[in-house]
């Protein structure tokens, strides 16, 4: 990678927020097109909300995922080693991240740009942005067409592997995702759609490659000291912003 490309690489140091990740909900299915031929992978410790280890709850009580930098140096793994009760251990799980084009149909308000998803098999007729309230009853749902990070664990990876072995490259077709349940009970199913070529320039514009996330960076662990601070109760955003 030359100076120009490296300098222009987007989202490398930017703090990612929830809106960078594909949001899924039992309220409606999602439709995605996986954009990367290979996923980026990591091991990740899931910390439940309010989980307390060293006096203060992890990540200011918010819990979340901590990517494991390796058992010999990881503060979470080290804490695990000190636990005599196996049930207390915060085991790491295999995770993958890929860029996806979120094609979930939405009705986009022409006045304010708010996106409206289907709920209970119908779309709202009035914009739900309290400052807008425009009539959107005449608008048809269109694919959202936004690049997002899709980060999941083994059960989804297994389904994608099955789809690939049955139908060939997973980048050649959309996947419909359905979600049932909430929290740790969430179960997601992937349904392959028909094979269909996609022209990213057409859908996203000439700069479509720059709209992709650096997913290798998404699965990269934080510095050991940053992990230690979050594990000991400091807020993720305070730690990452320095």
Strands (E), the chain: 30-34, 40-47, 64-67, 92-102, 105-108, 115-116, 142-143, 146-152, 173-180, 187-195
134 contributes a contact to Zn ion by CB under 5 A: yes
∠ CA 32-35-40, nearest 5°, is: 110
204 contributes a contact to Zn ion by CB under 5 A: no
Q: Which residues of 24-49 are buried (b: 16+ CB within 10 A; e: fewer)?
A: beeebbbbbbbbbeebbebbbbbbee
**Cβ proximity to Zn ion, 212 vs 228, nearer residue:** 228
In angstroms, the CA 69 to CA 77 distance is: 9
Structure tokens at 241: 């912003």
Among 31, 74, 107, 163, binds Zn ion (CB under 5 A): 74
Minimum distance from CB of 136 to Zn ion (Å)? 7
**Cβ proximity to Zn ion, 132 vs 139, nearer residue:** 132
Which of 96, 85, 84, 87 minimizes the C-alpha distance to 44?
A: 96
219 contributes a contact to Zn ion by CB under 5 A: no
**Cβ proximity to Zn ion, 68 vs 219, nearer residue:** 68
Q: Which residues of 197-217 are buried (b: 16+ CB within 10 A; e: fewer)?
A: eeebeeebeeebeebbbbbee
Minimum distance from CB of 76 to Zn ion (Å)? 4
Are 156 and 188 contacting, i.e. CB atoms less than 8 angstroms apart?
yes
Q: Which residues, 166 to 195, sit near Zn ion by CB under 5 A?
A: none
**Cβ proximity to Zn ion, 67 vs 170, nearer residue:** 67
Among 127, 147, 151, 163, binds Zn ion (CB under 5 A): 127
90 contributes a contact to Zn ion by CB under 5 A: no
Which of 184, 189, 179 minimizes the C-alpha distance to 26?
A: 179
149 contributes a contact to Zn ion by CB under 5 A: no
240 contributes a contact to Zn ion by CB under 5 A: no
**Cβ proximity to Zn ion, 8 vs 119, nearer residue:** 119
77 contributes a contact to Zn ion by CB under 5 A: yes
**Cβ proximity to Zn ion, 129 vs 217, nearer residue:** 129
Pattern of binders to Zn ion over 17-56, x per CB under 5 A?
A: ----------------------------------------
How many other β-carbons are positioned within 10 Å of the β-carbon of residue 18? 6
Binding site for Zn ion (CB under 5 A): 68, 74, 76-77, 109, 111-112, 114, 127, 129, 132, 134
């Amino acid at each position: 990678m030359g100076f120009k490309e490296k300098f222009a690489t987007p989202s490398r140091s930017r703090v990612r927020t929830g809106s960078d990740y594909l949001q899924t909900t039992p309220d409606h299915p999602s439709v995605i097109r996986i954009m990367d031929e290979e996923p980026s992978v990591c091991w990740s410790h899931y910390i439940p909300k309010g989980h307390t280890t060293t006096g203060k709850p992890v990540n200011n009580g918010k819990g979340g995922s901590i990517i494991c930098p390796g058992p010999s140096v990881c503060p979470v793994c080290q804490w695990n080693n000190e636990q005599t009760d196996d049930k207390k251990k915060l085991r790491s799980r295999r995770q993958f991240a890929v860029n996806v084009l979120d094609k979930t149909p939405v009705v986009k308000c022409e006045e304010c740009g708010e996106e409206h998803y289907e709920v209970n098999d119908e779309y709202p007729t009035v914009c739900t942005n309290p400052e807008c309230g425009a009539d959107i009853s005449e608008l048809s749902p269109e694919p959202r067409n936004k690049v997002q990070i899709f980060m999941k664990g083994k059960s989804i990876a297994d389904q994608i592997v099955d789809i690939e072995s049955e139908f060939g490259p997973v980048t050649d077709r959309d996947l419909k995702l359905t979600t049932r349940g909430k929290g740790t009970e969430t179960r997601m199913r992937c349904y392959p759609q028909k094979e269909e070529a996609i022209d990213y320039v057409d859908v996203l514009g000439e700069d479509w490659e720059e709209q992709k996330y650096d997913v290798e960076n998404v699965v990269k662990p934080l510095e050991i000291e940053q992990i230690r601070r979050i594990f000991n109760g400091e807020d993720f955003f305070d730690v990452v912003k320095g």
